[in-house]
Amino acid sequence: MEEILKSIAAEIVRQDDWGKTAQYIPELASVDPQQFGISVCLADGRLISAGAATKPFSVQSITKVFALVAALGRVGDQLWSRVGREPSGNSFDSVVLLERELGRPRNPYVNAGAIVTTDALLSGREPKMALAEILGLIRHMSESDSIYINETVAASEQETGARNKALAYYLKSHGNLNSDPELTLGTYFHQCAIEMTTDQLAMAGRSLAGLKGAPKVISRQRARRVNALMMTCGHYDGSGDFAFRVGLPGKSGVGGGILAIAPNVASIAIWSPGLNLYGNSHAGTRAAEMLSNATKWSVF
Ligand code: GLN
């Protein structure tokens, strides 16, 4: 595994096209796109990494997975009355389907769905309580207390997040947001601004992969469902392409991170900030494809 990761990192570093960082969040736009890290937690408990695996980056939409785990723990399957389980075939911040489908987002991994999930976690509490729950869960799952929220990134998105604000108010108009939209949005932006290293993220994915020794935060049945949604919806309108090329449940973030799960075998975290047209990491997807080819971990 050390050799595989080293050779993937070496190949990525040689590439010409790194993609482009997220331009709509100024703090992310200014990150150097030519960075790469990869970490793998194996079933025997080993953590193996290559490249910039100890550098914190903005995990962004990958937190939607942890927020979903927390919300299901809090409200259970009732959550599914507010958010669906189908791929959207649209970009992560699309408004189109929300209008046609009367304010019930397609799935918990597009922004509208994640705003509903965060709202379910908030449920009348102070935003800092909901954030403490998400952050606490992530710290517990990764066995790392040093994980934090980058306030500058949260503020940067708060300033430019007109589209997410539109989604939240639209949800509110359909009665699918319980809290004040500004409170839910503030919680959501702060949740997205959590920073982790690929080492920490790979550790956090162990419970979803069902690896031995992972903190027991979710039942196997629920983990299977969370993973199924990662496979079908985790890369938005690039989910089909990710399944085709990698064949593993995966969740991307606009910070350039990817969490991929090889059930019962491994938890994988990859980071490279340059994105492709779908807003998923360009080099990260390439690296995930190389790893899947080398290990035959595709579930297909
Ligand atoms: N915070 C980002 C947003 O809401 C998350 C999107 C993403 O990572 N795909 O736009």
> Each residue of 266-284: pLDDT tens digit?
999 999 999 999 999 999 9
- Ligand 1: residues whose CB is within 6 Å? 60-61, 92-93, 111, 157, 164, 192, 253-254, 279
Distance between Cα 111 and ligand 1 center (Å): 7
Index of the ligand 1 atom closest to the CA of residue 157? 1
Distance between Cα 255 and ligand 1 center (Å): 8
User: Going from the N-terminus, what domains does the chain have, and what CATH number goes with each?
Assistant: 2-60+196-295 (3.40.710.10), 63-194 (3.40.710.10)
Distance between Cα 188 and ligand 1 center (Å): 9
Index of the ligand 1 atom closest to the CA of residue 254? 8
Residue type at 216? K
pLDDT for residue 16: 92
**Residues tagged active-site:** 61, 64, 188, 236, 254
* 273 closest CA partner among 51, 110, 39, 36: 36
Index of the ligand 1 atom closest to the CA of residue 192? 1
Look at residue 86 and give its three-state secondary structure: coil
pLDDT for residue 57: 98
* 7 closest CA partner among 295, 298, 300: 295
Span 15-37, average pLDDT: 96
The CA–CA distances, whole Å, from 221 to 97, 224, 233 equal 29, 5, 18
Tokens representing 110?
A: 């597009």
Residue 289 has a CB neighbour count (10 Å cut-off) of: 19
By most ligand atoms within 8 Å of CB, the mutation choice from 134, 192, 277, 280 for ligand 1 is: 192
Query: Using one digit for the tens of pLDDT, what is the confidence trace for 226-255?
Result: 999 999 999 999 999 999 999 999 999 999
* 62 closest CA partner among 236, 212, 225: 236
Distance between Cα 270 and ligand 1 center (Å): 17
By most ligand atoms within 8 Å of CB, the mutation choice from 21, 152, 157 for ligand 1 is: 157
pLDDT for residue 55: 98
pLDDT for residue 124: 86
Look at residue 278 and give its three-state secondary structure: coil
* 22 closest CA partner among 60, 52, 55, 67: 60
Tokens representing 63?
A: 């937190």
Whole-structure pTM value: 0.98
Q: Quick check: 88 pLDDT over 90?
A: yes
Q: What is the Cα 166 distance to its own chain's centre? A: 21
Cα distance between residue 43 and residue 252, in whole Å = 23
pLDDT for residue 36: 98
Please state the φ and ψ torsions of residue 137, each to the nearest 5 degrees.
Answer: -65, -45
| Distant-in-sequence, close-in-space partners of 260: CB < 8 Å, separation ≥ 6 | 205, 246, 248, 249, 250, 251, 267, 268, 269, 270, 288
Span 159-169, average pLDDT: 96
- Measured at the CA of 276, the angle between CA 11 and CA 248, to 5 degrees, comes to 70
DSSP state of 20: B
